[in-house]
Amino acid sequence: MKQEINPKDTNRAIAFELWTKSPMPMVTLTKTFNVTRLCKVSRRRGIKFNMLLCWCIGRAASKIQEFYMLPQNGKLYKYDRMAINVIVDNVKGGLSFCDVPVSDDLEAFNANYLHLTETISQTCQDILDNEAVIVGTSAVTGTELDSLVNQYNGIFNNPFVAWGRYRKGWLKTTLPISFQFHHAQMDGRQAAQFLEELQREIQSLNYRL
């Protein structure tokens, strides 16, 4: 569920005033991650790499309160739950979108991920959750990318995480990941905290599974 809140009653009051009317309020940070464990868990358990990364993204984002507040149309909204938006190639050759609810339970998240992505791939009908705050994702795995900046058109203000093909080395596998956010929602400190938390989630995968 989402509800409108007064920015002055939050820690985003000054940032909201400064950035909500900016023509270009989006900020993009790019960090290279060690995804060696992510690859190993994916191979050993036969589960999708991108699903695991989306699960880690949800785990990391859900620990930071600013992710649950989002500026829209000059107002600030607070949400009580979160979902990860996934883009899928559909049978008609186009793209379809689904929102996968964030869960601490990997098995539940994986089941939802597989069911929703398969459904939209076949039906070409988006499955979206308008009552959850959305963390957008995009996996451009056709090539290696150093960075990816999404469009900003004033319609989609939600955080956005994107990556290309991971890079295999002798001792580790790495993946540059770009994180775009609205400056009225969070500052660089919270964005950096998210990126650090995401690496911790990836590193701890082997201990949980």
pLDDT of residue 98: 98
pLDDT at res. 23: 85
Q: How far apart are CA 194 and CA 131, in angstroms?
A: 22
Give me the number of domains the chain comprises.
1
Q: Could you tell me if residue 69 is inside a domain?
A: yes
Is residue 195 a contact partner of residue 203, using CB atoms and an 8 Å limit? Answer: no
Say which DSSP state 92 is in. Answer: T
pLDDT given at position 22: 86
- What does the pLDDT read at residue 80? 96
Task: Output the pLDDT for position 156.
Answer: 80
Residue 63 resides in a domain: yes
- State residue 209's pLDDT score: 52
- Domain assignment of residue 40, yes or no: yes
- Whole-model pTM? 0.95
Q: How many helices (H) and strands (E) does the chain have?
A: 6, 10
* Domain assignment of residue 102, yes or no: yes
d(CA 181, CA 189): 12
In a domain, 18, yes or no: no
Q: How far is 86 from 117, CA to CA, in rounded Å?
A: 8
Domain that holds residue 125: 2-12+24-208
Helix spans in the chain (H) = 13-19, 36-45, 49-61, 106-123, 188-203, 205-208
Return the pLDDT at 76.
96
Element (H, E) at 113: helix 106-123
- The answer to whether position 17 is within a domain reads no
CATH number of the domain that residue 162 is part of = 3.30.559.10
Is position 45 within any domain? yes
Local confidence pLDDT in tens for the 209 residues of the chain? 899 999 999 999 999 999 988 888 999 999 999 999 999 999 999 999 999 999 999 999 999 999 999 999 899 999 999 999 999 999 999 999 999 999 999 999 999 999 999 999 999 999 999 999 999 999 999 999 999 988 776 678 999 999 999 999 989 999 999 999 999 999 999 999 999 999 999 999 874 55
Give domain status of residue 19, yes or no: no
| pLDDT value at residue 21 | 84
What φ, ψ does residue 158 adopt, rounded to 5°?
-70, 155
